Structure 1
Amino acid sequence: MKKLSLFFLSLMCITLWSCSDDENPAIEVVVNFSDKLTDPNSSFQPEGGEVDGYYKVVTFTDTRNLVEMPSYYSDWGFGGGFTYTNISDKTTPGYMNLGNITGVGRSGSVYLTANSNAYTPAYVKNLDVSKYQFKGAWVTNSTYAYLAVKDGNDGNNPALVRKFGDGDWFKLTAVGYDVSDNELGCVDFYLADYRDGQSKVVNAWEWFDWSALATADHISFELSSTDSGEFGMNTPSYFCMDGITLVEK
């Protein structure tokens, strides 16, 4: 009987130990912009801002003020950084189309479109690093970049942008920085990959894991491509993002 009691006591301890990790699961928070736009096929229309080169620049936040990001714009519209939109156009080439190739958002009707380069950098800043860490986000190709890569059609200069072939790639890199702008590391995501016999151009929402950059104060985004020339990358420096996810510490 004593041996039996010890057995059940041991079993109970094992059960309690195995469940202990589930008692306080990490709480995830998904950033969204669902209440920011009311009209269909529309985008963020910034006002004010400071002049930065050819553009004015403002920063905006999500519905719950969890993250902040920049938006560059001019009289003709979006110039770079990030904007939020619900455009569903999957077929029109060119930079005026801010839609993504899926035609819909991943976690709602409103999602983010970015144009990130040296002149209009796109970044996401964690507004409460004492409470939250970065986990990741869903990404996909913009219609603009997708048609340029897949068909060689950027809606502007077919002699400049070429259709991707063997060995080509189009890569999104997330770079994490601390509050003092010291680099913490980086992670890559291929928006198009024609290496090693592949011919993939992302046309669905796919998860981009930022766990290696979890403690970053802000994450910036860089784009690179094998289709580059004397003046830089020929592939449009656009991508789309949705469902930025934070985890409570």
Structure 2
Amino acid sequence: MKKLTRLAAAITFAVALTSQIASAETVIDFEDLTLTPGSFYNGNTGVTNTDGWVSGGATFNNSFTREPTYSYWSGWAYSNVTNSTTTGFQNQYASFAGGGATSDGTVDVGGKYAVASGGNLFVNLPTSTVARSLWLNNTTYAALAMRDGADGNSGMTEFVTGAFGSKESYSDMFGTYSLDPDGNDFFRITFNGKSGLDGLGADTGSVTRYLADYRDDKSDNPDALLFGGNDYVLSQWLDVDLSSLGNAKSFSVSLESTDIGPFGANTPSYFAIDNLSVAAVPEPATWLALVSVSGAVAMRRRRKRSV
């Protein structure tokens, strides 16, 4: 009887431990990063590098290139810029909401958040965790380009064709620039779960959301009702469930727009995130301990029946 009591206690402990580990969540809110008010970090350490940066145990890829007369970056930056009104590239580090996100998605003016730009984007999740959710927003640069057709340039230097829904198009020496001819424009983002690090490996699942949606048919947009079925450019922080990414060790990000030119999408390829939530998953040793205890229980029962 004493042995059975000890065994039952061991089982209870193992199950409780596993349940506790599996349900533990961590929110990566970027507040562990250092910034002065109204500033950002885009990988500029003074020299060309591809070091990336880390917050809350997650790694965000970044590439910064310094040339003699100019520099450029891609990947992930972090920021606490609050400018939601100025158009153009010079305001590329601002969320359109005007700050970071609180735990319930309201604006945290002066709070830190991450800004992404470019085509090669990935996040390596902390070891032994899975993605649960994040808050998503446009950048001011992209939002005003879509809403107003204004990207801070003028005339022939405009990158965007026009405002979403305007059906505009034109041609120049390089080719044709065109929005959707029926006004069904969109700017779509997809998070792609990967079985390996650095956005590599097998697909584990994906999640798609719309940073702007001017389509007549929004039936595939899970957030359409949030905006009353109306056309919108996302201006608030949006809660995105990432549980469909499964057991991904990393996720990559892709963007798609209906504003197309001869060199690809004209919409600025930017967005912002905050409060990336991850959940711990038990280490293999923990699962092994639970399996061992379960095996011992089964063996004990078989022995008891054979006596």
Tell me, yes or no, whether TM beats 0.5.
Answer: yes
Say yes or no: does 1:176 pair with 2:197: no
Say yes or no: does 1:196 pair with 2:216: yes
For residue 50 of structure 2, the aligned residue among 53, 57, 80 is 57
Say yes or no: does 1:186 pair with 2:213: no
- Structure with the greater alpha carbon radius of gyration: 2
Deviations 1:200-220 (A, max 9, x none): 110000011111103111101
Say yes or no: does 1:28 pair with 2:20: no
Superposed displacement of residue 77, structure 1: 5.6
Q: Aligned residue for 2:248?
A: 216
Higher mean C-alpha displacement, 231-240 vs 103-112? 103-112
* CA–CA separation in structure 2 for the residues paired with 1:139 and 1:112: 10
Q: Which runs of 5+ in 1 are unaligned?
A: 1-19
Q: Aligned residue for 2:74?
A: 80
Deviations 1:171-207 (A, max 9, x none): 0111111126122232101000011273111000001
* CA–CA separation in structure 2 for the residues paired with 1:174 and 1:83: 18
For residue 96 of structure 1, the aligned residue among 86, 90, 93 is 90
For residue 147 of structure 2, give the secondary structure of its aligned residue in structure 1. helix
- The Cα RMSD (Å) is 2.3
* CA–CA separation in structure 2 for the residues paired with 1:135 and 1:188: 14
For residue 106 of structure 1, the aligned residue among 76, 101, 106 is 101
Q: Structure 2: which amino acid aligns with 1:172?
A: I
% of aligned pairs identical? 31
Q: Aligned residue for 2:123?
A: 124
Shift of the 176–43 alpha-carbon distance from structure 1 to 2, 3 Å rule, reads: same
Contact 2:135 2:237 in 1 (8 A): yes
* CA–CA separation in structure 1 for the residues paired with 2:90 and 2:231: 27
Q: Aligned residue for 2:39?
A: 42
* CA–CA separation in structure 2 for the residues paired with 1:148 and 1:115: 15
Superposed displacement of residue 94, structure 1: 1.5
Q: Which runs of 5+ in 2 are unaligned?
A: 1-15, 103-107, 166-182, 218-229, 282-307
Say yes or no: does 1:234 pair with 2:266: yes
For residue 144 of structure 2, the aligned residue among 117, 142, 147 is 147
* CA–CA separation in structure 2 for the residues paired with 1:239 and 1:159: 17
* CA–CA separation in structure 2 for the residues paired with 1:207 and 1:94: 26
Superposed displacement of residue 247, structure 1: 1.2
Deviations 1:77-110 (A, max 9, x none): 6521100010011111122211011111003510
* CA–CA separation in structure 2 for the residues paired with 1:104 and 1:135: 22
Say yes or no: does 1:68 pair with 2:59: yes
Deviations 1:55-76 (A, max 9, x none): x4221100x3x21011122345
* CA–CA separation in structure 2 for the residues paired with 1:160 and 1:47: 27
More helix by share: 2
